[in-house]
Structure 1
Amino acid sequence: MNDLIRFLDVAGVNSDVREELDIAWKSVLQHGRFVGGPEVELFEEQFASYCEASACVGVGNGTDALQLILTALSIGAGDEVIVPANTFAATAEAVCSAGARPRFVDVDPGTLLIDPAAADAAVNSRTAAIVGVHLFGQMIDVPRVAAVARRHGLALLEDAAQAHGARYAGHRAGSVGTAAAFSFYPGKNLGALGDAGAVVTQDRSIADRVRRLGNHGCSPTNRHVHRERGRNSRLDSIQAAALSAKLPKLDDENRRRSALMEAYAALLPSSYVPVAVSPAAQSAHHLAVVRTAQRERAVSALNSAAIGWGVHYPVPCHLQPAFSAFRERLPTVETAARQILSLPISPTLGEADVARICDVLRGVTS
């Protein structure tokens, strides 16, 4: 029987920092400040520095992070926010939760990231922001999308939930937009031990308002005074401690992911084409996404060989029932959704595992 190759090896990644995680848990348990403990401030400082940004605010999850940014910028009812249709539903969900309308646009056929020309064409008098989703580990075409935002006076928000440590033209994810939303869901390149997220920005006034909104709208000088309607979205101390334990290893793990993608590129049969990476981009390779005309047969073969897989995403946002009020015709993303397949990628994976995966796929060619 073949050994199982997991799509995500969360347990394996965590085992590499088990000692640090044990120490973190004992420390938090001892001081008892499970919310707002010293670990939160420390991680916020560390992650802001890592992202080459001015400020970081820990929040409950990545979806909250994006919604809190929109609310902090007073984007809501009557506003439109441009969103690429090729993203997880949470991106559009956050826009709707803030009271705004998502305007879905198509993607570049090579990278499957937001098409700057499509974003430009979608701008109208109600447009308030563009959400640039750094998908699969790769940042968007920052100069072109930022130029669209500047030309129309729009906020550029980074959805960096899949791009911890990624760069474009030397700039880190989290450092190039008005503000950035990060998720630390356990399967991310930098994953917590449960739900967690952060807002990163160069603008401390945005960070200050996000912090207030995520703490019930409390005044920073008097917790009994609520100057605006906020919500409860705070980073737990134990999650912050776990993230601080993992952050020093992130760049090495991303380099490992890059080596695995190079192995895939060398060994995959020609009928499986990796999603393109821009020459200016340094991808964090959160996902190993390929396009193939025989996805169903490939999935069946992978299942038989005990190899994990995923599809990100089989139903684009603009075709989801939850967003049926915002339907568009977006042919590039619709075609890609029928072809994309995510293969295993994790710092614990070996080149021999990649070779085995590619051997299985070699047996499924047209």
Structure 2
Amino acid sequence: MTPTTAASRLRLPFFPPDLFEADREHLLRLVRETGTAPAQKFILGERTARFEQALRDRLGAADVVACGSGTSALTLVLAAMDVGPGDEVVVPAFGCAPLAGSVVALGATPVFADIDPWTMVVDPDAVERRITARTKALLPAHMFSVMADMPRLGALARACRLRLVEDSAVAQGGVQGGVPAGLAGEAGVYSFVQVKTFGTAGEGGAVVTRDVGLGRTVRMLRNHGQDGVHRFLHHRIGWNSRFDEVLAAFQLHRLPGLPERLERRARIAERYTERFTDLADRGVLAPPPGRDGRCFYVYTLQVERRDALQAHLAERGIGSHVYYPLPLPRQPAFSRYAAPGDAWHAAERAGERILSLPLYPQLSDAQVEYIADAVREFALAG
């Protein structure tokens, strides 16, 4: 079969269009049940409470607070820590905009630390060099399929008496040294946007924490500073970051199947790594192998001729994606927080080389091999 013929028969988008097809009828039933229930409770109701309790039980957390999005979860937890004007928060130079945006939104200053050139998560040594007398918190983030080095970052935070927030938006289900993603620091955040490992049919997120008091404050801040008991009594300035009852019920429905879906993602990632490990000297670098400290959200290569590989895959009907082509301090929104002459060499190099492959449970073994074959064909031909 020629590549052209194969591409016409195999269309493999980066994210599947049928993420929730198997659950469609159940979702429609939940919409009707919620919409016609006598209570007419559409946000922060009994289903949200049950969903939060289910996650608390699964994680062993002191509290889980469902929020409107992963981004708002970051803002809420930083606000609960009283991060504000005059404070600095050390964040990775490479990653999603909310890492810096949530800090700026509170009037604080993001300070950018470079990443490890292979794992592409923040380098603890670079973080330590960025700490000043104004630093109030560290905000590492898990990336792609690798978790940040939370044991080292936790030790650093304790030694310097800093707050530690774990951006685990892409890492739900990941475990590092026996600790679930989100619970290595004082608090972590999850994102439930559709394509995440525990995505839902809309938007949503959560704050997870071992600190009961911190959870109580976040719970207040997500609902305009109300305590959940006395309506229209506002203890603090807060936000509208309330969770949807339909989606809470939908997530409860899908939670029992999460381990199986995560296992499928992990097996696909392991197979990719098996196929790509010998390609490093051919300009295609696979992520580190193993399962501890891994979170199989997307599978991301570093490729010397990235754009050429992306075109090669597209010709064969395979979707791919370039995340974060610019480091955060090079983004117009955050460039004023970059000191003149400062550089983040590993982050800049990663932005030029990264290419993510399809990684979702719906992929068949044959499709996984087809994708791997296409990558190998490109690398070995070059």
Q: Which residue of 2 aligns with 1:2?
A: 9
3-state SS, counterpart of residue 104 of structure 1: strand
Q: Which residue of 2 aligns with 1:309?
A: 320
Displacement of 1:282: 4.2
Q: Which residue of 1 aligns with 2:79?
A: 71
Relative to the length of structure 1, the TM-score reads 0.95
3-state SS, counterpart of residue 9 of structure 2: coil
Q: Which residue of 2 aligns with 1:276?
A: 288
Counterparts of 2:189 and 2:67, CA distance in 1: 10
Query: What aligned pairs does 1:1-366 form with structure 2 within 5 A after superposition?
Result: 1-9=8-16, 11=18, 13-31=19-37, 32-268=40-276, 270=279, 271=282, 272-277=284-289, 281-327=292-338, 328-365=342-379, 366=382
Displacement of 1:198: 0.8
Counterparts of 1:315 and 1:2, CA distance in 2: 35
- Please tell me whether the aligned partners of residues 88 and 134 of structure 2 are also in contact (alpha carbons under 8 angstroms): yes
Q: Deviations over 1:161-218 (max 9, x none)?
A: 1001000011101221111111111110101111111111111111111111111112
Counterparts of 1:176 and 1:52, CA distance in 2: 12
Counterparts of 2:243 and 2:47, CA distance in 1: 10
RMSD, aligned CA: 1.5
- Please tell me whether the aligned partners of residues 167 and 282 of structure 1 are also in contact (alpha carbons under 8 angstroms): yes
Q: Deviations over 1:28-65 (max 9, x none)?
A: 22322111221100111111222221111111101100
Relative to the length of structure 2, the TM-score reads 0.91
Uncovered stretches (5+) of structure 2, i.e. residues with no partner:
1-7
Match of 1:107, as an amino acid? I
Q: For residues 221 and 358 of structure 1, do their structure 2 counterparts lie closer, same or farther at Cα, with a shift above 3 Å needed? A: closer
Match of 1:324, as an amino acid? S
Counterparts of 2:145 and 2:66, CA distance in 1: 21
Q: What is the number of equivalent residue pairs in this alignment?
A: 364
Q: Which runs of 4+ in 1 moved over 4 A?
A: none
Match of 1:334, as an amino acid? E
3-state SS, counterpart of residue 140 of structure 2: strand
3-state SS, counterpart of residue 226 of structure 2: coil
Uncovered stretches (5+) of structure 1, i.e. residues with no partner:
none
- Please tell me whether the aligned partners of residues 151 and 184 of structure 2 are also in contact (alpha carbons under 8 angstroms): no
- Please tell me whether the aligned partners of residues 2 and 305 of structure 1 are also in contact (alpha carbons under 8 angstroms): no
- Please tell me whether the aligned partners of residues 145 and 299 of structure 2 are also in contact (alpha carbons under 8 angstroms): no
- Please tell me whether the aligned partners of residues 197 and 297 of structure 2 are also in contact (alpha carbons under 8 angstroms): yes
What percent identity do the matched residue pairs reach? 34
Q: Deviations over 1:306-329 (max 9, x none)?
A: 211111221111111110112241
Q: Which residue of 1 aligns with 2:3?
A: none
Displacement of 1:3: 2.0
Q: For residues 58 and 119 of structure 1, do their structure 2 counterparts lie closer, same or farther at Cα, with a shift above 3 Å needed? A: same
Match of 1:292, as an amino acid? V
Displacement of 1:76: 0.8
